[in-house]
Chain A
Amino acid sequence: MSTSSYLTISIILFSIGTIGFVVRRNAIVVFMCVELMLNAVNLAFVAFARHHGSLEGEAAVFFVMVVAAAEAAVGLAIIIAVFRNHRSIETSDADHLRL
């Protein structure tokens, strides 16, 4: 398969993740949409790595996964903390910084 096929899939997945991020209100679903976007980018990385015959793209994916894991830990902890204070994990309810 040509690299462009993988890239196209990656772009579509990324766009779907973006739409989900914009449309959904549940903080955990929003978080999952971010994971979706990260994975779309990972896919593009691996596709490029194979296209250029280099392992650097795959190393980048490894680090993205590490950061995603850290993000998941901290992000979910923040969601729990927000839920404790607001009794809600709706992102539209957490607008206290607005003037």
Chain B
Amino acid sequence: MESMGSHREIVDASLAIIPLCPLVGAMVAYIVGQKQKDLAGWIATAASTLAFLFVVKNFFALGTNQVLLDKSFVWLSVGNFSIDFAFQFDHLTAVMCLVVTGIGSLIHLYSVGYMAHDESRPRFFAYLNLFLFSMLLLVLGANLLVLFVGWEGVGLCSYLLIGFWHKNIAFAGAGRKAFVVNRIGDAAFLLAMFLIIMNYGSLDFMALSRVMPGETSEGLATLISVLLFIGATGKSAQIPLFVWLPDAMAGPTPVSALIHAATMVTAGVYLMARLNFLFEMAPLAMLVVCMVAGLTALVAATIALVQNDIKKVLAYSTVSQLGFMFLAAGAGAYWVAIFHLVTHAFFKACLFLGSGSVIHACHHEQDMRHMGGLQRVMPFTAATYWISTLAIAGIFPFAGYFSKHHILSALEHAGAHNPQLFPWGVPLSYIATFAAILTAFYVTRSAAMTFLGSYRGHAHPHESPWQMVVPLVVLAGLALVGGVFLEGALSLQHYLGHAIPVGDVHHGESMASFSFLLNALLHSWPGFLGVGLALFLYTQAKEIPGKIARAFGPFTQVLANKYYVDELYGAIIVRPLEGMARFLWKGADQAVIDGSVNGTAAVVEISGELIRTTSTGQLRHYGFFMFVGTLFIIFFYMAL
């Protein structure tokens, strides 16, 4: 494998300003927010936009075959081993940063409208900016440790924001669940870092990309890769650690859009793309990634079919789409994974924000069975939601088509790239195609149930304020033309080729040619199939879905209960742990440790009470004791 770090020109730049913007913004927003609650949102939005502008500046400053580097300071130095607090800005980082700060800024603006009536909005915007800071650390970090700081930081902010309405016990529990499940992945991530330090003595990406390919055995590479992937399954909600993401919908909807759809959950994909040289050395690990990702994409899509909570549908959709990204990364097409990451960020953020707009309008009603017909009262929301639906369905010329098409073709050709994947590439592409049909179906179902038909709820829905509509329109625009732009104008494959291996760049036929258009429309068939089926079933033949559900009664039940994964984990992990914790609490802590501590205190107290009775405050008693004591000393002395 070609190592990318060796021949790139390193340019000094001041990159620390990018993450510092939201960090300062968080503090200022919180402090100012104590007096002026409405100002907090605008400050946070301004900080986020400023970070976006700095990213754009660096985006244009970044030349071909360059990498911008900012060694802020030496963080730790132990013997020969030292780690800098350093930032690195290459073409991969540029794409990630643009997505994070760009969509982040839009969602900040949206939140100003969405959270306008919440009492604790300064806290909300401080968390949101803090999240942006952590995410920027994650993507800008020039070594694994800085990345890990960001990795943990986004985990913390995710926890804080899921449990933002912490007075609701269930919401706080959802935050805790996300935190604990992420911990499991983080432990594996840490182990991988230890292994890398042990074997290479460095965590720096560029140093590793130079050192690793030469002197790594396949076994070690596989071990490290699998550990890192376990870390990624935690953060990016893959089987078996995906259970936290649907519960994470307890947080405010902008949070779901920003953290649990567009940015944080893609950290695992970014990690794989960043450490591509490592994964390339471990074909077996790649196979594991592909298998897990394919399974996740399929399982999550089937669960999403029967959910009635609009945010739950989108949550499982996110899990499924993350599976698509990992499929691409596992097949060795990292740039495709990043491509899908970007387009997914566009349309999924738009879908989530649209659902937030609907929820806002329906007075926090999330059940789609109590919606319907909202197209008439919320035209902007409906239009943007439909555009994003078509985008996620993978219909040409919407953004989702391009990335999905690339994923499928990458899977078909994966066998040539990675011999371990040889027999699996084509079946995986079939699974992915099937999941894509399901995706088109369930998203269209949610759109149809929400916006078509007649209204079934009791609230008085209304269009959302402009702060919420503007981001929706921008994101829908991106979902509409983003794919064409990234494929054609920017040529993401070529652009990312400066930073990560992308395979052969084929310029192919012009996008304007008739044969290309026909070909593209033909390749959109899974999307057309899913959308058409859903539209037919939920507008024309409304009784059929119920019949199907009854016909497959037990299977529907299993899907509605999300394959009983939560129950399974509860039975085999949570319950025994609880039992052990209870034993340690009651048996060990309360009985032994507290007992001994309290016992010591009791002994001291009782003896103190006893001795206290001799302290009468009477001079003569003290004199008497002195006399008796002297007497004893004399007797003792004489007896010697």
User: A: which residues have CB within 8 A of B?
Assistant: 18, 21-25, 30, 91-92, 94-99
Q: B620, A21: Cβ atoms under 8 Å?
A: yes
Q: A99, B612: Cβ atoms under 8 Å?
A: yes
| Cβ-neighbour of B615 out of A18, A24, A98 (below 8 A) | A98
| Cβ-neighbour of B617 out of A21, A24, A30, A95 (below 8 A) | A95
Q: A21, B612: Cβ atoms under 8 Å?
A: no
Q: B620, A91: Cβ atoms under 8 Å?
A: yes
What chain A residues lie within 8 Å of B623 (beta carbons)? 18, 21-22
Q: A23, B620: Cβ atoms under 8 Å?
A: yes
Closest residue of A by beta carbon distance from B621:
A22
User: Among residues 601 to 625 in chain B, which have CB atoms less than 8 Å away from a CB atom of chain A?
Assistant: 612, 615-621, 623-624
Number of B residues near A (Cβ < 8 Å) is 11
> Per DSSP, are chain B's interface residues mostly helix, strand or loop, or mixed?
helix
Q: B619, A94: Cβ atoms under 8 Å?
A: yes
When chains A and B are docked, how far (Å) is the Cα of A95 from the Cα of B619?
A: 8
| Cβ-neighbour of B627 out of A18, A97, A98 (below 8 A) | A18
Q: B620, A97: Cβ atoms under 8 Å?
A: no
What chain A residues lie within 8 Å of B616 (beta carbons)? 95, 98
What chain A residues lie within 8 Å of B617 (beta carbons)? 94-98
Measured between C-beta atoms, what is the minimum distance from A85 to chain B in Å? 16
CB contact under 8 A between A30 and B627, given known A99-B612, A99-B615: no
What chain A residues lie within 8 Å of B627 (beta carbons)? 18, 22
When chains A and B are docked, how far (Å) is the Cα of A22 from the Cα of B616?
A: 13
User: B: which residues have CB within 8 A of A?
Assistant: 612, 615-621, 623-624, 627
When chains A and B are docked, how far (Å) is the Cα of A21 from the Cα of B612?
A: 22
Measured between C-beta atoms, what is the minimum distance from A10 to chain B in Å? 15
Q: A30, B615: Cβ atoms under 8 Å?
A: no
What chain B residues lie within 8 Å of A22 (beta carbons)? 620-621, 623-624, 627
When chains A and B are docked, how far (Å) is the Cα of A30 from the Cα of B620?
A: 9
Residue of B612, B619, B621 most packed against chain A (CB within 10 A): B619
What chain B residues lie within 8 Å of A24 (beta carbons)? 620
Q: B619, A91: Cβ atoms under 8 Å?
A: yes
When chains A and B are docked, how far (Å) is the Cα of A97 from the Cα of B624?
A: 18
Q: A92, B615: Cβ atoms under 8 Å?
A: no
Closest residue of B by beta carbon distance from A27:
B619
What chain A residues lie within 8 Å of B621 (beta carbons)? 22
Residue of A18, A22, A25, A92 most packed against chain B (CB within 10 A): A22
Measured between C-beta atoms, what is the minimum distance from A7 to chain B in Å? 14
When chains A and B are docked, how far (Å) is the Cα of A92 from the Cα of B623?
A: 13
Measured between C-beta atoms, what is the minimum distance from A25 to chain B in Å? 8
Closest residue of B by beta carbon distance from A94:
B619
When chains A and B are docked, how far (Å) is the Cα of A30 from the Cα of B623?
A: 10
What chain B residues lie within 8 Å of A97 (beta carbons)? 617
What chain B residues lie within 8 Å of A94 (beta carbons)? 617, 619
When chains A and B are docked, how far (Å) is the Cα of A12 from the Cα of B278?
A: 98
When chains A and B are docked, how far (Å) is the Cα of A99 from the Cα of B615?
A: 8
Closest residue of A by beta carbon distance from B619:
A91
What chain A residues lie within 8 Å of B619 (beta carbons)? 30, 91, 94
Q: B612, A92: Cβ atoms under 8 Å?
A: no
When chains A and B are docked, how far (Å) is the Cα of A95 from the Cα of B616?
A: 8
